[in-house]
Structure 1
């Protein structure tokens, strides 16, 4: 089975996995476009994202304040497995029903939150480590729709920084990045 959420996650996952696999140890202390995060910090956060959003799909409560050092032996091989489990967990249509335990928002919203984190943080890491990153157009469209619905709330909660004005055409990756508080032209 699959859901629209799992299909979109399946489109986003390979690009982010490729970026994670391409990160070398000498990249870990570099800054990222995600304010206050080094590559190491953002990798640990991205691991938390895939593990926690998988748990949220199973209606488990998650404590986002817990910080785990995921960058232990074999982390480059573990991340693709965790990301694949994230996609698989969201493929059950029952996962999208109802409201999330502990977060009080529709499960569909939780799935979109997983998608935006996987995608935007993939871009953050790619930019910080001088790698290419391409986002499938259907993912871009879905994320713009999500931001239309929930972007203001995300900004109020501190999930997104203030939007960065861009000259990008509406509906593009660069416009999406600007809406999440990133400068698409960011460089180290």
Structure 2
């Protein structure tokens, strides 16, 4: 974890937002690799995460139990998500954002920031797979998130944020860091949308 979080978030956003912007309205009910979410609900979740983690960067409390707003009902929802993601990058680039602790669990702020970084890249993959788009995350971002999530995975599973680790062929021998990250969060890297 060597690059500033805001730089990693900016890089992740540059690759993730084109996926969001290219989602056609007719694909909003499509299933995603997140079994409990269709595209619409996953976009609502992603919007909630992006907004809440702006507050966490500023050391303000958030309520993750609140129901996620259906952002797709807003006019120009793609622009809304783009603007909120830009605000997220700015929030984590503010002086002191990565210092100290934040959130109800009092975790180090840098660790909390890696949570939203992971959500941004992993959910971009979920949305890309669900809507037949290509998506390739930045390798430096993947390495950073994989390092953080390897430490967070047991707690993430206990809290229901991660599914059970997906088994990789040959116990992961030859798997890329990206495939290992997807599997760590409970995803099948080979998932394809139903025909």
TM-score (ref. length: structure 2): 0.91
Say whether residues 1:186 and 2:181 are aligned partners. Answer: no
Partner of 1:69: 70
> 2 CA distance for matches of 1:64 and 1:24?
28
Partner of 1:84: 86
1:38-60: CA deviations, max 9, x gaps? Answer: 00000000111110111110111
Unaligned 5+ segments in structure 1 are: none
| 1:148 corresponding residue in structure 2 | 150
Give the root-mean-square deviation of aligned CA atoms. Answer: 1.3
Task: For residue 10 of structure 1, report the CA deviation from its aligned partner.
Answer: 0.9
Aligned pairs, number: 186
Residue 16 (structure 2) pairs with residue 16 (structure 1)? yes
Large movers: runs of 4+ above 4 Å? none
Question: What pairs up with 1:1-188 in 2 under 5 angstroms?
Answer: 4-66=4-66, 67-71=68-72, 72-167=74-169, 168=172, 169-188=174-193
Query: Are the equivalent residues in 2 in contact too, given 1:12–1:136 (CA < 8 A)?
Result: yes
1:120-164 deviation digits (Å, cap 9, x = unpaired): 001000000000101111011101111222111111111100010
CA–CA separation in structure 2 for the residues paired with 1:143 and 1:128: 22
Pick which of 129-138 and 3-12 moved more.
Answer: 3-12
Q: Is 2:99–2:109's contact at 8 Å kept on the other side of the alignment? A: yes
Q: Say which SS state the counterpart of residue 164 (structure 1) adopts.
A: coil
